[in-house]
Amino acid sequence: MHYRYIVSVLYFLVGSGFAALGQVRDLQSCISQALQYNLAVQHSEIKAQRSSIAYTRSWQERLPTLNARLGHGINEGKSIDPSTNQFISKRFTSGNQELTTSMVLFDGLGMLYDIRQQSKRWAADQKDQEGALIALKMDVILAYIQVLTSKDILQQAEVNIETTRAQLQRSETLHKQGAIAPGDYFDIKGQYAAESSSINGLKKTLFDRRIALSGFMNIAESELGELAPLEGQTNDMDVLTADADQLYQEAQDKLPDFQSLQLKTDATEYAVKYAKSAYYPRLTFGAGLNSQYAGTSSDSYLRQIDNNLGKYVSFGLNIPIFNGFKVRNQVKLARLDQRSQQVENDQKRLELRQNTSRAVFEYKQSYENIALLKSQVTDYKESFRIAQVRFDEGDINSVTYIIAKNKIMNKLCHSLQYYNIRLYCSNIH
């Protein structure tokens, strides 16, 4: 029995592993997975739901209250008979019934300001939730591109090391025959070891970026599978025509995070008014019905309720005179919260201006660098081809050969920034 259970578990785990390895995810599926299961997004959803409940509670508090109370007891010894209001010394049952209602007629418009405050906070949290979704999409796009970039750089390094491996095998044969300078042989051998070490570092970088992407999607790295290339999923980048100021103004108007700033400011203004409402008198209204029952009476239970029925209507006026400066301190705290929100708004606008300026500059610089990198790669490829032919013929030493090879390797890695160029394009548009 235990053997079958262990085999079943191993089969499930191995099968799941093969399924994950055979799975290919595209960018859209990664974004959909993240939007559905990301923990930060779930937290923002809960926050918005709390604000919705707070708003509902604020306007429901304006409704009148209605409560009923029913009490029954057994009396023994010397007690007052509710039906005669006389002392008796015997065991009997008694009870009372009450139905009350109350409502606030005036509280310095406190409830009205609270409703408006909670309404603004709810709208702001909805905008924050929308902004969190957009930010998550951009994080997934960035992580996706970083995984593809790391994978391409690793594959390019593995292709390059094959050239070095072939050159090392040739040098070993020539070294044994004494047909190559020992320094050239050991230079090639050291170059091979350096490239092998670099590949190990690139594998770690690829794994770290896969971990980051799977974290946004709330899955294990082993469940991520292979990622589909971006060809056919994004368009080629265009030359950016907008300047930093135009992009800054457009971002302020369209980004939900900055649309929520004004809503939060309005909420703090209503919070100050809500705190000030405690300075004003509070007028309440109340009404009710009450009755009582006694087991010593010969009348039935319902007849006693009808005979003993009482009614009342009341108004209450509470005038605040001195409460230890409690209201005054609450108003000061509300004003500090208002000032704190204004400072936070200014800080976010400053960060947005800096980020938009940096994004426009890096976008334009990267656009220009792509053309330069393509030209450099073409030139260095030809230079390395010539160096390899000359090294094989013994016309140059290993130092010149290794320098030419490192140049082409570096430029091939830099040319993979094409993915990052597309990322900047996605960020701006």
Q: From residue 41, how far is each of 119, 215, 218 by CA, in Å?
A: 21, 13, 11
More reliable by pLDDT, 153 or 369: 153
Domain 2-37+107-147+209-280+321-428, architecture per CATH: Up-down Bundle (1.20)
- The domains of the chain are located at 2-37+107-147+209-280+321-428
CA angle 381, 383, 386 (to 5 degrees): 110
Tens of pLDDT, residues 250-295: 888 888 988 899 999 999 999 999 999 999 999 999 999 999 888 7
Would you say residue 12 has pLDDT above 50?
Answer: no
* Helix axis angle, 110-177 to 326-392, nearest 10°: 20
Structure tokens at 100: 């009350």
More reliable by pLDDT, 74 or 411: 74
Structure tokens at 199: 């590949």
Q: What is the DSSP letter of 299?
A: S
Q: Contact at 8 Å (CB) between 129 and 40?
A: no
Q: What is the pLDDT of residue 186?
A: 73
Q: From residue 390, how far is each of 38, 184, 293, 404 by CA, in Å?
A: 56, 13, 117, 12
Structure tokens at 279: 């300075």
Question: Of the candidates 138, 30, 34, 33, which has an alpha carbon nearest to the alpha carbon of residue 423?
Answer: 138
For residues 73-80, give the mean pLDDT.
80
Burial of 409 per CB tally in 10 Å (0-12, 13-18, 19+): buried
Would you say residue 35 has pLDDT above 50?
Answer: yes
For residues 297-315, give the mean pLDDT.
87
**Average pLDDT, rounded, for the chain:** 80
Would you say residue 247 has pLDDT above 70?
Answer: yes
Tens of pLDDT, residues 55-64: 999 999 999 9
Q: What single letter denotes the amino acid at residue 290?
A: N
